[in-house]
Amino acid sequence: MSERGGVTVVDAVDAYLQRKAVGDPDGPGAGTYASNAESILRRWADWLETEHGVTSLFALEIDHMRAYAAELRSRADRGEYAASTAGTYYAVVRAFLSWCVRGGILESNPAAADAAESALPSGDDRSDGAFWTATQRRRLRTYVREHALEATTGELDRDERCSRLREYAMVALLAHSGVRGSELFRVPDDERRTGATWEDVDFYTGTIRVLGKSQRLEDVPLPAPARTPLRRYRVVLDPPSNDWPLFPTRHAPSIARRVERVLADRGHTETEIDDLLADTTASRLARERSIAPPTITTEGARSVLKRLCKEADVDVDGDYLTPRGVRETGADGADQYRREATTSKPALRASVLERTIAVPESQPPIIDVDPSERDERSDRD
């Protein structure tokens, strides 16, 4: 660690998190900021190494940060993140690099360059359905509700009834609760966001537990307009176990891969697995063996909503209602009623860098962005 080129991104991140966690233990939000930033920074470090082969902090360039901003923008375009969430993730990384500059570890902050920041998604929320009217939202919700009621009174088979009630529950949850699409569905390449399961739903208290944008588990209220469709859907779905996802994927290859992997983990040989699958489908075998399939992805949910909008004749210049756009205008207010469900975090290991480089302390923030980062931006402006 005596050579500057030997300082790795991972060690620098460890030092930063350790400082934020214990540098000002009596300051407001000291531990909160460290725990919130941890998963963001570690995923960024993994992305740097996987996509660009960068492990040394001093190999980091503006082009790398521009590529990271472009990656966040791409995820926002796919509906995995809101534009504001993508901006927050980038801001956390930028704050970390600013800390490195203040401590003399780096000469300049590549994330603060205009060429890098210009690749971030803009604040225009049109792609998220923010410009849809209440009438258009009601039209979609009315369609899925009536479509689901037909399933309970008609001569439809079980699969069709389940499909219609699934769509009703999906739209109702997005419309009437404060839950976000990235909390409800699986986000590819984010190992923590695997989607909500029935174990997360508490009908008695009327809440659903999700991984919030703060990267902590939160209990989100489920009002009756969201809870009732979800309960009806559960009766028809009849999940064989509580770890079953609320909205399982219907992508057969994904289900087959999950079944094969779990059966192998349970000690079945490849020949035995092939024999089991020869007599039935992967979906049926998953039910028989209580193997929870993957949750539908955020992109898959967008496809479902796109189809429903077309069927309901809800359209604005060829656009369609996305998961965020389905939400009632006042549903964001539900955020203030969220309750943190857990505060436990594993202890951070002390790195060699933390013991060898003295870095000035700064007041840790209560929210996701380091206030020193806000000061830096103010100075630039």
Looking only at Cα atoms, what is the longest distance across the chain? 75
Residue 75 sits in the same domain as residue 189: no
pLDDT in tens, 181-209: 889 999 887 888 899 999 999 999 899 99
Residue 317 sits in the same domain as residue 187: yes
State yes or no: pLDDT of 318 exceeds 80.
Answer: no
Residue 52 sits in the same domain as residue 157: no
Residue 268 sits in the same domain as residue 308: no
Structure tokens at 8: 């790795």
- Helix-helix angle 30-52:62-77, to 10 degrees: 100
Residue 160 sits in the same domain as residue 258: no
**Span 241-259, average pLDDT:** 93
78 occurs within a structural domain? yes
Name the nearest CA neighbour of 162 among 46, 283, 263.
283
Residue 135 sits in the same domain as residue 68: no
8 occurs within a structural domain? yes
- Residue 107's SS3 state is coil
Between 55 and 189, the higher pLDDT residue: 55
144 occurs within a structural domain? yes
335 occurs within a structural domain? no
**Span 227-254, average pLDDT:** 94
Residue 227 sits in the same domain as residue 268: no
Residue 168 sits in the same domain as residue 269: no
For residue 44, what pLDDT is reported?
Answer: 94
CATH number of the domain at 213, please.
1.10.443.10
Q: How many CA atoms lie within 13 A of 240 on its CB side?
A: 12
Percentage of the chain beyond pLDDT 70 is: 73
State yes or no: pLDDT of 234 exceeds 90.
Answer: yes
Residues 227, 230, 126, 194, CA torsion sign: positive
Pairs from 278-284 (Cβ < 8 Å, separation ≥ 24): 281/252, 282/252, 282/255, 282/256, 282/258, 283/252, 283/255
Three-point CA angle 303, 210, 10, nearest 5°:
95
Determine the structural domain holding residue 278 and report its residue range.
252-293
Arithmetic mean of pLDDT over the chain: 78
Most confidently modeled range among 31-35, 131-135, 265-269, 337-341: 265-269
171 occurs within a structural domain? yes
For residue 169, what pLDDT is reported?
Answer: 94
Residue with tokens 């980091």: 60
Residue 114 sits in the same domain as residue 162: no
Residue 286 sits in the same domain as residue 302: no
Residue 134 sits in the same domain as residue 237: yes
State yes or no: pLDDT of 358 exceeds 50.
Answer: no
State yes or no: pLDDT of 362 exceeds 60.
Answer: no
Q: How many domains does the chain have?
A: 3
- Flag the least confident range among 46-60, 160-174, 263-277, 330-344: 330-344
190 occurs within a structural domain? yes
43 occurs within a structural domain? yes
For residue 266, what pLDDT is reported?
Answer: 93
Residue 156 sits in the same domain as residue 178: yes
25 occurs within a structural domain? yes
